[in-house]
Amino acid sequence: MKGIITADVVGSTKIPYEQRGMLPDVLNELAAQLQRICPIRLEIYRGDSFQIEVEYYELTPFIAALLRIGLKSKSLNKTNKLDARMSIGIGEVSYVGESIGQSDGEAYILSGRAFENLGKQRLKITTGKEATNDELNVLSMILDDLLTSLTVAQSKVVFECLYDPEIKQKLIAKKLCVKPQVVNKAINASKLSIIAVVLERMKMVLAKYK
C-alpha cells in the first residue's frame, strides 16, 4: 500500500520564461527535505507536472500539504504566486518500475483518474473504499481552502512549524530574518492549529484503511 501524488504547478505559465528553469530545482529541493519525514520518489514531467510516490501511505496528505506550502513559500513575488493542484491515490502498487512513470497499480490509477477531474479544486484524496472517501473529501475541502488562502509570508512560517513541530518561534524568526511578533501573527492568521488538526485526522483515517 502506497500513496501516489499526481500534480501540476499552478501559475507556472506566468513565470518569466528565463526563470521557469527554477521549478525543477525547487521541487527537487523540497523533495530532499521531505525525505527526512518519509521515503519518497519524485519524477518531474515537462517542467511543471510531477508525480510522487510516498512509502508510508498514511503520511501522503502531510507530504502533499508540505509540498504545496513549500511551493507557496518560494513564490517569486505577489504576481507570480506558486501553488499546485494535487490528486492523491491510496492503494496497492502492483508493479514498481525503475521510474514512477513505469510503475503501475491501484494507487496510480486512482490518483490519475481523480486528477483529470479536479476542476477548480486543488486537493483530492481517493481510496478504494467509498466510506473512507466520503470523510476524506470533506477533510480535503477544508484543507484545500486553508492552504489556498495562505500568503507567501504565512507559508514560510507554516512550513517551518509543520516540518518541525518542536521548533521555537524565536528560531523560526531567526531563520526567516523577521521579528518574533511577525511569526506569531502569521501562525494565528494562517489558522495553523486547524491545518494541523485536519492533517492529523487524515492520517488517522488512512491508518485504519487496509
In angstroms, the CA 132 to CA 206 distance is 8
Q: Determine, yes or no, domain membership for 161.
A: no
pLDDT (0 to 100) of residue 47 = 72
Overall domain count for the chain: 1
Q: Which of 87, 143, 83 is nearest to 119 (CA)?
A: 87
Asked if pLDDT for residue 122 goes beyond 70, the answer is yes
pLDDT (0 to 100) of residue 74 = 85
pLDDT digits (tens, 9 = 90+) for 187-205: 999 999 999 999 999 999 9
Q: Determine, yes or no, domain membership for 179.
A: no
Q: How many CA atoms lie within 13 A of 151 on its CB side?
A: 10
Q: Determine, yes or no, domain membership for 165.
A: no
Structural domain of 123: 2-148+198-207
pLDDT digits (tens, 9 = 90+) for 135-153: 999 999 999 999 999 999 9
Q: What CATH number corresponds to the domain at position 110?
A: 3.30.70.1230
CA dihedral 101, 103, 106, 132 (to 10 degrees): -70
**What mean pLDDT is predicted for residues 50-76?**
94
pLDDT digits (tens, 9 = 90+) for 87-97: 999 999 887 77
Q: Provide the b/e sequence for 155-182 (b: ≥16 CB within 10 Å).
A: bbbbbbbbeeeeeebeebbeebebeeeb
